[in-house]
């Protein structure tokens, strides 16, 4: 086998120098590219602006020429000679047309070579027009058709002017009325066709500063450039039919760069429309741009050369001490921590030498700290894994608890119904036991849902004893089986607090769980006392136990994250730390007191909330409802996918004298609501297919009054989104399982609010 090839190796000096040189080359190149693009765009923009200005001047100049020509001939027709010749229009003298033609021919010669034709027409619409023309092929009939809209106003006494493309030539055309001397009555109109020649274009070129071409079809009729060799793209643009859009494109003609503007003089006007091309040269600007490019390139190359030499010089000074540092580092890597580097310069390299020396001195200490940190990380990892397992179990328990709510609703409801029937006493006692057991299951399920589900932080009015009772109910079995007695000593008339009940329950649960675990390994007869009271500003809770207590050192660290006295895998050390944060967020305080062998006591203080408004009370779920009920016979629709709950609610409502229809899905419930107007609609919140919220959205669009009288039920925890929905629409939701009295009261409140 051949030995593996040696990898290509570059020195530090090369690795630094090459990227620096690359940056020194790329940066000027990028700058040159950006500047070149900017200047090129500026040159193009200036040429476009020049061309746009030239077009404006060109069009205005044509307009001015037409007006000047109109003024000239309006004065000419007022001469006596025109008045006398106009008297022959419509004359029956056979020699009259020839006399008029001779007169017009004499005038045509005096008006210059640009004047192509003079036509004198009578306004009697019978006599043919008489014309003098330089070109015998000048068709008078076709001319009359093309210029009819200019001649007609003149025959009615209004002069007119315009520009006309005729037989491949562009003309400035004016038509003026001719009147008789003496009475001033109009007898005809004189039409003058003045051709736009090269001489005229040269004058316009001086005004516009641009070369001018007039075209017809694909032929250049007149141009300020002699025999121009037009590029194919410009030739194609010229050949475009009239009515096309105005365009500006760069072209080269005879080696010179131009911007070409092509347009119709009057798009959409068949009389005044002819195509023109304006060419603005920007060759001089391009040459100046080339000179600028060359200058920038030369300056950039010189800068790259000088910068490269400077970088190379400084790298040479840096790499020498680095070689010494490398040799000593290799020795340290082999375990020789006695190596030291002399400070060879009073700069950053010298500071590196001192840092190296400090590093070798601290390596042994750092190694020990690292080993300790690795052990801590492993412990923390195990704790986090355990925490994730507990979280997964909590989610599983929450799902089961939710599924239990529907059958519990049925059990509690029907047992409540049976309690109101006439039965023997022994049966009533048995039903009471069923109701009591079901109620206990309800409390356990409610506690499971409260502790296992994730909640968004939500502050609302709550009472501390009710929060404590929920936790105690949740832990009652665990405490009883471990021979631990829980004593509750609540102060009278405790004011409410503004708090997140779920977060406070978590705090109390953490403290009670820690107390149970400490007691069960210390003694057989445990005792935990929960005492509440209030000051002028705060409500307080003291949780004391008769466990082993804590040392002063442990007491000082119990709120530190990841601190725990439990064996590895038995705790995360996060419970009390999180509890401390929760109490701080509530603007409260938490502390602990303990003496070894005499138990421990946790003291929690929370600020008192503002008192609720008169006439309201705080319910156990934290909502606020008015006092008083009013029940009357109603027509009610009940929608739920659980048939036992449907039968229960239907039976209760019928016993109260209501008329009840039922549906097992949201779709069927909506169909019934379309056919019948209901006083109240009772519906489950979560159902397959169409849920309760979607039913409300459909009803509020069709029947807002009925939508306002909807009562929701749910076996899940009411989330923030659903709470906002209920608050927005002023609706009520009964959490499952509920008592029949709660259900009847909710129906009565809906009837009272209708």
Both structure tokens of 82: 């025109």
Strand duo 680-684 + 659-663: pairing: unpaired
Name, in order, each residue with C-beta under 8 angstroms of 225's C-beta and a sequence gap of 6 or more.
211, 213, 253, 279
Strand pairing partners for 215? Answer: 220, 275
CA 656, chain centre distance (Å)? 54
DSSP letter (8 states) at residue 3: P
pLDDT grade, residue 449 (50/70/90)? low
Report CA-CA distances (Å) from 90 to 40, 107, 120, 197, 685: 66, 21, 11, 35, 99
Whole-number Å distance between alpha carbons of 433 and 418: 12
Q: Where is average pLDDT lowest: 655-664, 671-680, 740-749? A: 740-749
pLDDT mean over 596-619:
71
pLDDT at 7: 58
- Comparing CA positions, the residue from 362, 294, 296, 304 lying closest to residue 332 is 362
Whole-number Å distance between alpha carbons of 275 and 170: 9
Alpha helices in 489-606 (DSSP H): 501-520, 552-557, 575-585
Average pLDDT over all residues of the chain: 78
Give percent helix, percent strand, percent coil of the chain, each to the nearest 5: 50, 20, 30
For the chain, the C-alpha Rg in angstroms (whole number) is 52
Per-residue pLDDT at 275 exceeds 90: no
Give the pLDDT confidence of 221-254 residue by residue, as tens digits.
788 887 667 777 777 777 765 555 778 888 888 7
Residue 268 Rama label (left phi>0; alpha psi -120 to 50; beta): left
For helices 740-753 and 348-419, give the axis angle rounded to 10 degrees: 90
pLDDT mean over 645-657:
85
pLDDT grade, residue 625 (50/70/90)? very low
Give the pLDDT confidence of 285-332 residue by residue, as tens digits.
778 878 887 887 888 788 778 877 877 777 776 676 777 777 777 777
For residue 737, say if its preceding peptide bond is cis, omega within 30 degrees of 0: yes
pLDDT mean over 391-406:
62
Q: What is the 3-state secondary structure (H, E, C) of 435-504?
A: HHHHHHHHHHHHHHHHHHCCCCCCCEEECHHHHHHHHHHHHHHHHHHCCEEEEEECCCCCCCEEECHHHH
Q: Which long-range contacts (CB under 8 A, 24 or more apart) does 557-562 make?
A: 558/592, 559/590, 562/380, 562/383
Domains of the chain: 65-284 (3.30.450.20), 340-448 (1.10.287), 455-614 (3.30.565.10), 628-753 (3.40.50.2300)
Q: Which residue has the higher pLDDT, 531 or 416?
A: 531
Burial class (CB in 10 A: 0-12, 13-18, 19+), 165: buried
Per-residue pLDDT at 565 exceeds 70: no
Whole-number Å distance between alpha carbons of 39 and 50: 16
Both structure tokens of 407: 């059958």
> How many alpha carbons lie under 13 Å from residue 400 in its C-beta half-sphere?
11
pLDDT mean over 504-529:
88
Burial class (CB in 10 A: 0-12, 13-18, 19+), 639: buried
Whole-number Å distance between alpha carbons of 754 and 742: 19
Both structure tokens of 204: 């316009």
Alpha helices in 334-347 (DSSP H): none
Q: What is the 3-state secondary structure (H, E, C) of 51-77?
A: HHHHHHHHHHHHHHHHHHHHHHHHHHC
pLDDT grade, residue 389 (50/70/90)? low
pLDDT at 1: 46
- Comparing CA positions, the residue from 145, 67, 85, 132 lying closest to residue 104 is 132
Q: pTM (2 decimals)?
A: 0.39
DSSP letter (8 states) at residue 511: H
Both structure tokens of 388: 């994730």
pLDDT mean over 133-147:
78
């Amino acid at each position: 086998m051949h030995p593996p090839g040696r990898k290509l190796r570059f020195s530090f000096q090369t690795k630094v120098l090459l990227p620096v040189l690359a940056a020194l080359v790329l940066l000027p190149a990028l700058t040159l590219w950006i500047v070149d693009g900017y200047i090129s765009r500026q040159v193009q923009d200036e040429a476009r602006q020049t061309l746009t200005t030239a077009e404006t001047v060109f069009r205005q100049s044509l307009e001015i020429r037409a007006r000047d020509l109109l003024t000239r001939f309006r004065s000419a027709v007022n001469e006596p000679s025109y008045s006398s010749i106009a008297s022959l229009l419509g004359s029956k003298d056979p020699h009259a047309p020839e006399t008029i033609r001779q007169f017009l021919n004499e005038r045509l010669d005096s008006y210059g070579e640009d004047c192509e034709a003079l036509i004198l027409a009578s306004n009697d619409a019978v006599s043919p027009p008489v014309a003098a023309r330089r070109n015998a092929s000048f068709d008078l009939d076709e001319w009359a058709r093309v210029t009819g809209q200019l001649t007609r106003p003149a025959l009615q006494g209004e002069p007119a002017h315009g520009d006309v493309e005729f037989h491949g030539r562009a003309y400035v055309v004016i038509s003026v009325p001719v009147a008789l001397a003496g009475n001033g009555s109009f007898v005809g109109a004189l039409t003058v066709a003045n051709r736009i020649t090269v001489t005229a274009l040269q004058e316009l070129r001086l005004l516009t500063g641009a070369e001018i071409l007039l075209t017809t079809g694909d032929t250049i009729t007149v141009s300020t450039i002699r025999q121009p060799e037009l590029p194919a793209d410009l030739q194609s643009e010229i050949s475009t039919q009239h009515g096309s859009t105005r365009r500006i494109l760069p072209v080269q003609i005879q080696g010179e760069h131009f911007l070409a503007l092509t347009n119709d003089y009057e798009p959409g006007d068949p009389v005044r429309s002819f195509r023109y091309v304006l060419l603005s040269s920007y060759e001089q600007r391009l040459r100046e741009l080339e000179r600028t490019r060359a200058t920038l390139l030369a300056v950039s190359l010189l800068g790259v050369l000088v910068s490269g030499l400077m970088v190379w010089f400084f790298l040479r000074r840096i790499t020498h001490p680095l070689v010494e540092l490398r040799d000593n580092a290799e020795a340290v890597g082999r375990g020789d921590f006695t190596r030291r580097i002399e400070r060879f310069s009073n700069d950053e390299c010298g500071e590196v030498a001192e840092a190296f020396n400090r590093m070798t001195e601290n390596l042994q200490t750092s190694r020990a700290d690292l080993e300790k940190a690795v052990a801590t990380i492993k412990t923390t990892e195990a704790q986090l894994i355990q925490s994730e397992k507990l979280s997964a179990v909590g989610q599983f328990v929450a799902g089961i608890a939710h599924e239990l709510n529907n059958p519990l609703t049925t059990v509690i409801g029907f047992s409540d119904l049976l309690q109101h029937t006439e039965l023997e006493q022994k049966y009533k006692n048995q039903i009471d036991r069923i109701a009591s057991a079901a109620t206990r299951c309800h409390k356990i399920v409610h506690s499971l849902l409260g502790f296992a589900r994730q909640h968004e932080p939500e502050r609302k009015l709550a009472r501390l004893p009710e929060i404590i009772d929920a936790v105690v109910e949740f832990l009652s079995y665990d405490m009883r089986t471990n021979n631990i007695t829980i004593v509750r000593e609540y102060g009278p008339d405790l004011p409410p607090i503004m708090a997140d009940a779920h977060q406070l329950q978590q705090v109390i649960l953490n403290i009670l769980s820690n107390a149970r675990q400490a007691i069960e390994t210390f003694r057989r007869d445990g005792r935990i006392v929960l005492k509440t009271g209030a000051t002028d500003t705060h409500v307080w809770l003291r949780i004391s136990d008769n466990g082993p207590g804590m040392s002063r050192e442990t007491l000082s660290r119990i709120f530190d994250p990841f601190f725990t006295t439990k064996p590895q895998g038995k705790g995360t050390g996060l419970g009390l730390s999180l509890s401390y944060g929760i109490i701080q967020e509530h603007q409260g305080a938490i502390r602990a007191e303990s003496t070894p062998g005499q138990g421990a006591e946790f003291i929690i203080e929370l600020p008192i909330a503002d008192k609720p408004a008169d006439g309201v009370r705080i319910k156990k779920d934290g909502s606020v409802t008015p006092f008083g009920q009013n029940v009357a016979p109603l027509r009610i629709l009940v929608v739920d996918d659980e048939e036992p709950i449907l039968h229960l609610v239907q039976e209760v409502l019928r016993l109260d004298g209501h008329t009840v229809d039922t549906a097992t899905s949201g779709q069927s419930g909506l169909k019934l609501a379309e056919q019948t107007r209901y006083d109240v609609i009772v519906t489950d919140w979560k159902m397959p297919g169409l849920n309760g919220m979607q039913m409300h959205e459909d009803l509020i669009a069709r029947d807002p009054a009925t939508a306002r009288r909807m009562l929701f039920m749910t076996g899940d925890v009411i989330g923030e989104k659903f709470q906002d929905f209920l608050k927005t629409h002023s609706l009520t939701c009964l959490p499952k399982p509920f008592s029949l009295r709660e259900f009847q009261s909710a129906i009565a409140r809906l009837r009272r609010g209708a």
